[in-house]
């Protein structure tokens, strides 16, 4: 027995020794391929076992394996996993993880209502910008639209250069015809489709991803995606605990500070996230384009069990900024930073002389957005996703009222002289027709042919309340067939009027209301004050009206997919009702009354379908086609939205959009991929109604003044064709290249009609039919663009990046033409370059990120595009540097 016990003991020792020696020690450091920074918390797992660990703060790990040979799998949320073989002890050195193009991990909630391209097997033409790039490029004194400019067929206009005044164009269509979605909810204006990017200054701080779907896109909603769809996915209540503080400084005294914190998920399923920031600058680049704003974000998530997931979000970005409109070419040549809309005010405060910049054109707005997401996993095959949302926009833009503007010899507004002029008014009550002729005064154009009179600054107020619901039910009918159906409901009310901001020495303002009453109150052009402090009905001037827009839509999609083949069919139908309430109406005796228009309903619909075929993992073809019958915007339904309750006669019909696109995807491993897209978009029966900038005597207005005439065009047709090529190439693990070429041919077709009205009386001045626009190129946009970006990891923690973009084939607008019937030449082609760097480093156990950007490195001040007045936009070099502390 004793010998048996000894034998048993010896055997156990041998087995233990064998096991002990059958292990290996594997070491390594995991870093991000794009930012060249450590990835703390990355998962390291011995394949086929539960043996694993996570990397430390430096991205390093040492794993003791259970066998002497095998494989380890390294993974991190938002990155492609890597599998590495080992045989015995090994130091794997630096292990680079590439960002995963999938956005599945980005969408924490709302996966059923956020229509991302990869959620559908049939591809679309798409560019995706992840959070790392947004943080690198999209913070501070550049527009959120700038993040998107290195994408095929995307053109970003500086729009004069003020904070938030840029415009986005996709395949030659502006943002009234490019749908923008925030977490699945549409945010284009219900009235005219516009996107006011100044309202969304905080998106670069809270966006997890931005996806630009060119053309038909994958959205199932009946939305205005003629050019494409921009999906913005924001943060939700973050699953991981931690936070950061960032300080950023830029040119022209720009300063921004941001703080955020995430509690992580507690044991009861709750998580909270917070973000606040403040920014300010005395100008963006051009003169008089000062700005200031804040951004706030609050989100709470709750996951009671595996079937339900809730997230509540509140965010807003109140801001104000001085604006600059596009300029004459001669002005740009003399002084590209010139801005005619500002001047110095002077006064005395606490016994000291003060002098401040004030802009005649000041935009101010505050638009809190709130939404509640609910994801319900009904079964393994079925789910329901819904978002209930609301927004309350308050604010507007300031401008002149009256004929008494005075300027200094250098062309700026002379507020002191204006006050002295107003002080000379006999009764202190000004009006647009009360002239006080002062010798030697020059108007904005440098001539002395305008009468001088009273002058005040007014604000055009655009308040709205918007409530909506988007819900989508999805089910797998079988392993190849997926079906979903949903609804899109919206209630919208907009209030529009003008109020006085500053009397400049007057006691009141008269002759600007149907009842002839004198207005005596002023209201601050401030985004926080605008939430609750705006003019009552008896203190409003010039115009005062509201509209109600109700929208009900249903949509559905069915998709069949195998490993190689996929096909989908999608359809949506919607009803949209419009009703107007005019409060500056008059009865037969000339008395002021309030009248409601009749309600008008418009039915719209769209159908889309497509198919794709994968020859193998490296080669895939796809074709998509669609047709939209889109309801006209509210602004095109009424005769004159500001003064009339009458519908346009004859009634405006729906616009018709037909789109066809085809693409080919090619990949070589993980290091090279390329996509070629060709597209054709036919837009028929377009309606264009706008102030045309031409006086009734045929002379041009200064665009800083209120307009005198209004044009209404019907039956405008456009055809946009083009080809796009973009690629990604990673020649080594430390260098990544992205490039694209897009060439378009965007032209008007056939004939249209044209009516011109006096903007004050509504009288028809001129009417033409059979206006020939056939073959005229769409002006104002570069139809050929090329770009190349690069990111290089230099050393541990340091990376450099940059890009260059070429713009060509850009046709000029005909100066002061009410409609484009010919091309008058082209804007000279040009190229702009950007550079940036990122350096991640540690101080003790604390991780910091230093980031720097220079936009338009060579300060190439060029004419970038022209507007409908034949004026031009320019922009110059800007820069910023930031330091982020992560904890």
Mean of pLDDT values over 830-856: 89
Q: Provide φ and ψ at 539, rounded to 5°.
A: -115, 20
State pLDDT tens for residues 164-204: 888 899 999 988 889 999 888 899 998 988 898 888 888 88
Reported as half-sphere exposure (CB side, CA atoms, 13 A), residue 859 has a value of 6
Domain ranges of the chain: 21-97, 242-350+358-402+455-886
Whether residue 123 has pLDDT greater than 80: yes
Name the band, by pLDDT with cuts 50, 70 and 90, for residue 362.
Answer: very high
Q: Which helix (H) or strand (E) holds 866?
A: strand 865-866
State pLDDT tens for residues 647-659: 888 888 999 999 9
Mean of pLDDT values over 195-224: 86
Mean of pLDDT values over 437-459: 54
Whether residue 602 has pLDDT greater than 90: yes
Edge-to-edge, what's the strand order for the sheet holding 82-87? 52-54, 43-46, 69-75, 82-87
Give the whole-angstrom CA distance, residue 148 versus residue 128: 9
State pLDDT tens for residues 546-560: 999 999 999 999 999
* In the chain, % of residues over pLDDT 70: 89
* In the chain, % of residues over pLDDT 90: 51
The answer to which of 55-64, 530-539, 732-741 has the lowest mean pLDDT is 55-64
Strands (E) located in 526-564: 541-561
Average pLDDT of the chain to the nearest whole number: 86
Name the band, by pLDDT with cuts 50, 70 and 90, for residue 395.
Answer: very high
Reported as half-sphere exposure (CB side, CA atoms, 13 A), residue 447 has a value of 5
**Joined tokens for residue 424:** 């000379």
pLDDT score of 353: 57
Residue 884 burial (CB count, 10 A): 19
Strands 382-401 and 369-377: antiparallel
Strands 228-234 and 178-182: parallel
Name the band, by pLDDT with cuts 50, 70 and 90, for residue 77.
Answer: low
Give the whole-angstrom CA distance, residue 160 versus residue 861: 13
Give the whole-angstrom CA distance, residue 433 versus residue 230: 47
End-to-end CA distance of the chain: 63
Give the whole-angstrom CA distance, residue 852 versus residue 828: 30
Name the band, by pLDDT with cuts 50, 70 and 90, for residue 217.
Answer: confident
Whether residue 6 has pLDDT greater than 70: no
Which CATH superfamily is 242-350+358-402+455-886 part of?
TonB-dependent receptor, beta-barrel domain (2.40.170.20)
Question: What one-character DSSP code corresponds to residue 260?
Answer: E
Of the candidates 121, 876, 163, 183, which has an alpha carbon nearest to the alpha carbon of residue 570?
121
Give the whole-angstrom CA distance, residue 433 versus residue 438: 15
The string of DSSP codes covering 397-429 is EEEEESS---B-TTSSB-HHHHHHHHHTSSSSE
Give the whole-angstrom CA distance, residue 425 versus residue 434: 9
State pLDDT tens for residues 801-822: 999 999 999 998 877 677 778 8
Name the band, by pLDDT with cuts 50, 70 and 90, for residue 606.
Answer: very high
pLDDT score of 492: 97
What CATH number belongs to 21-97? 2.60.40.10
State pLDDT tens for residues 668-718: 887 899 999 999 999 999 988 876 554 434 444 444 445 567 788 889 999
**Joined tokens for residue 231:** 């999906």
pLDDT score of 34: 65
State pLDDT tens for residues 477-514: 999 999 999 999 999 999 999 999 999 999 999 988 99
pLDDT score of 437: 37
Cα 283 off chain centre by: 21
Range 749-762 burial, b when 16+ CB lie within 10 A, else e: bbebebbbbebeee
State pLDDT tens for residues 740-793: 999 999 999 998 888 887 766 667 788 888 889 899 999 989 999 999 999 998
Query: Structure pTM?
Result: 0.87
Give the whole-angstrom CA distance, residue 132 versus residue 663: 28
Rg from Cα positions in the chain: 30
Give the whole-angstrom CA distance, residue 661 versus residue 534: 48
pLDDT score of 723: 97
């Amino acid at each position: 027995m004793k010998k048996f016990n000894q034998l048993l003991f010896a055997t156990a020792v041998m087995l233990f020794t064998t096991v002990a020696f059958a292990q290996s020690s594997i070491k390594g450091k995991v870093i991000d391929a794009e930012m060249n920074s450590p990835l703390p918390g990355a998962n390291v797992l011995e394949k086929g076992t539960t043996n694993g660990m996570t990397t430390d703060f430096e991205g390093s790990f040492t794993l003791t394996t259970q066998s002497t040979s095998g494989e380890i799998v390294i993974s991190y949320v938002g990155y492609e996993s890597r599998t590495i073989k080992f045989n015995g002890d090994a130091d794997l050195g630096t292990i680079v993880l590439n960002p995963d193009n999938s956005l599945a991990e980005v969408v924490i909630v709302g996966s059923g209502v956020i229509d991302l391209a990869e959620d559908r097997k049939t591809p679309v033409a798409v560019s995706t910008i992840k959070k790392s790039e947004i943080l690198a490029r999209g913070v501070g004194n550049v527009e959120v639209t700038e993040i998107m400019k290195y994408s095929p067929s995307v053109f970003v206009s500086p729009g004069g250069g003020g904070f938030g005044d840029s415009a986005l164009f996709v395949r030659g269509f502006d943002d009234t015809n490019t749908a923008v979605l925030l977490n699945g909810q549409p945010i284009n204006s219900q009235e005219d489709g516009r996107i006011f990017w100044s309202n969304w200054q905080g998106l670069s701080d809270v966006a997890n991803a931005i996806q630009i779907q060119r053309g038909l896109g994958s959205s199932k909603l009946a939305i205005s995606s003629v050019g494409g769809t921009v999906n913005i996915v924001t943060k939700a209540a973050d699953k991981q605990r931690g936070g950061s503080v960032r300080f950023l400084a830029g040119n022209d005294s720009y300063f921004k500070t941001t703080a955020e914190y995430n509690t992580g998920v507690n044991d009861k399923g709750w998580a909270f996230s917070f973000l606040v920031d403040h920014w300010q600058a005395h100008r963006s680049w051009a003169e008089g384009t000062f700005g200031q704003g804040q951004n706030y974000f609050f989100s709470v998530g709750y996951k009671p069990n595996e079937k339900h997931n809730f997230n509540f979000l509140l965010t807003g970005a109140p801001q104000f900024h001085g604006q600059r409109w596009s300029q004459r070419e001669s002005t740009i040549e003399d002084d590209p930073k010139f801005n005619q809309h500002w001047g110095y005010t002077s006064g005395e405060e606490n016994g000291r002389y003060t002098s401040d910049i004030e802009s005649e054109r000041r935009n101010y707005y505050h638009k809190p957005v709130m939404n509640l997401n609910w994801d319900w996993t009904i079964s393994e095959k079925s789910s329901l996703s819904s978002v209930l949302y609301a927004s309350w926009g308050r604010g507007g833009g300031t401008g002149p009222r009256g004929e008494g503007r005075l300027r200094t010899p250098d062309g700026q507004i002379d507020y002191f002289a204006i006050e002295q002029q107003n002080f000379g008014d006999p009764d202190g009550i000004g009006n647009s027709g009360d002239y006080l002729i002062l010798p030697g005064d020059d108007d904005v154009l440098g001539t002395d042919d305008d009468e001088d009179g009273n002058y005040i600054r007014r604000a055009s107020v655009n308040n709205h309340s918007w409530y909506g619901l988007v819900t989508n039910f999805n089910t797998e009918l079988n392993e190849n067939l997926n079906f979903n159906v949903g609804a899109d409901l919206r209630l919208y009310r907009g209030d529009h009027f003008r109020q006085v901001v500053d009397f400049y020495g007057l006691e009141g303002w008269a002759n600007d209301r149907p009842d002839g009453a004198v207005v005596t109150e002023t209201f601050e052009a401030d985004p926080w004050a605008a939430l609750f402090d705006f003019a009552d009905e008896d203190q409003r001037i010039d115009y005062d009206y509201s509209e109600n827009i109700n929208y009900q839509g249903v949509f559905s999609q069915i998709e069949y997919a195998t490993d190689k083949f996929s096909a989908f069919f999608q359809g949506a139908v919607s009803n949209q009702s419009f009703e107007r309430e005019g409060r500056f109406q008059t009865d037969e005796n000339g008395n002021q009354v309030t009248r409601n228009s009749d309600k008008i309903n418009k039915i719209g619909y769209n159908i889309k379908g497509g198919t794709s075929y994968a020859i193998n993992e490296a080669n895939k073809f796809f074709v998509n086609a669609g047709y939209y019958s889109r309801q006209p915007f509210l602004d095109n339904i009424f005769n004159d939205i500001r003064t009339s309750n009458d519908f346009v006669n004859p009634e405006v019909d729906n616009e018709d959009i037909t789109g066809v696109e085809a693409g080919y995807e090619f990949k070589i491993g993980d290091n090279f991929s390329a996509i070629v897209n060709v597209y054709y978009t036919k837009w028929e029966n377009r309606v264009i109604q706008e102030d045309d900038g031409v006086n009734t005597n045929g002379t041009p207005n200064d665009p800083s003044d209120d307009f005198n005439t209004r044009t209404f065009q019907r039956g405008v047709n456009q055809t946009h064709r083009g080809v796009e090529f973009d690629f990604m190439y990673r020649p080594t693990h430390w260098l990544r290249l992205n490039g694209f070429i897009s060439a378009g041919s965007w032209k008007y077709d056939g004939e249209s009609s044209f009516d011109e009205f006096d903007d004050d009386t509504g009288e028809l001045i001129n009417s033409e039919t059979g206006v020939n626009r056939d073959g005229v190129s769409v002006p104002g946009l570069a139809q050929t663009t090329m770009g190349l970006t690069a990111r290089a990891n230099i050393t541990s923690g340091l990376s450099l990046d940059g890009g260059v973009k070429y713009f060509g084939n850009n046709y000029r607008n005909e100066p002061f033409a009410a409609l484009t019937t010919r091309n008058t030449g082209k804007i000279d082609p040009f190229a702009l370059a950007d550079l940036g760097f990122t350096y991640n480093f540690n101080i003790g156990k604390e991780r910091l990120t230093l980031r720097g950007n220079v936009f338009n490195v060579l300060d190439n001040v060029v004419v970038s595009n022209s507007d409908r007045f034949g004026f031009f936009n320019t922009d110059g070099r800007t820069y910023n540097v930031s330091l982020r502390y992560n904890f």
